[in-house]
Structure 1
């Protein structure tokens, strides 16, 4: 497919200052490419190119769900939903992912008469709709095509996500909202993740004992408060790296002990090293 190379073990990221609302990732033969449970601030959608993996996700307050996915599957992650996707039995698998600014997407939804101006989460998390799969691969190929003008990439992105906004069965009958009493705690962690955040401070913010907070938070979101703090710090680190920050400086800014600690944690949550994530456009070895 145009725009994709065939190098074994390749990992590649694409982003452009002329299209700040979208970022793309391509991983081929991703043995050893695994993720801890994590989230994205962006809306995420991906397609499995080859191999098999297990897609786990949780809507807050609901049970964890695990869905096997393979070539032809399209997976969807709403902003801040906790999820993970890992190869089955460490077998080779390949995929493409798009990470899209939720505010940009909410504007398209509003123009389509969907929602009230804020981003409306999609109900579907996995689909095997051939047309959607084909269109997603076409858009990713366009984004990764070096000689394609930015105006063409922008038009292709807008056309795809306008179609997605009106995809049959994309939304629940009523918009889903997280009305948990823990939502203020989530907002507090997001807003203070680069500060010292011991469990006791978070529990005091919640008005709960530390033990009660851990039980309640894990029951609602599927991870502990500590894991969520780490997730937020990694996302903050991604933004800082995209802005041109030096890895060592970003590590300290995000309150990791040192650059090595940041690198290990970043890779566990993103399946890429900070250097791989920062070096946009060049094929990289995903087995590192």
Structure 2
């Protein structure tokens, strides 16, 4: 059962309601797959209806999100559009006219796997930041670890502090307007950030596993979504538009980290 919790809220009534409906659709798919008493015709009919629902969701919900993000000049609009296009392509690739029972069941299994990841890697990792991205690259104070980010777990707090330091190093490099080409130095810091992020997530997940924390599965999905975003950094784009590209990147990474710490990591119990 996938539950729409406060962690999923964007604070935007229309978007939150549409997200609730997506959770409902995913749970309906799970119910169909778990109910062995349904006839073949019922399964096929339900499968087609749910795929139609997802196609409609992709058509209307993403338009609402993108319209709002465009209106407020949200810097993450382009990234969101790319992710929306992938989702839309996925659901629109299903041909309802040729769907039979076996294909319907297979499609539902595929959609279940895809959508369960989407909930955590898009809604919780990207949508909850809509309209909340602070401009931090020109305000070093916001790239400083402070007590309000503490979890109470010493090693987690130390590692979070190091992530803030690496982001501050990256920002410092990018703000040196009259330095010679900073490309190599910036690439080195980005690689350090990637490596340290992976190490931190592994350490954090190991701790959560040791204390049998019930939120481990959600955390793993969120961590992977952040790693995926780090891996998607296009160094060719960065070389052409170095200053702007890194400014936008720092703003996103810092806001994601702050949001994740305060919404998710501060719930981790202290052993």
* TM-score, normalization by structure 1: 0.22
* TM-score, normalization by structure 2: 0.23
- Greater C-alpha Rg: 2
More strand by share: 1
More helix by share: 2
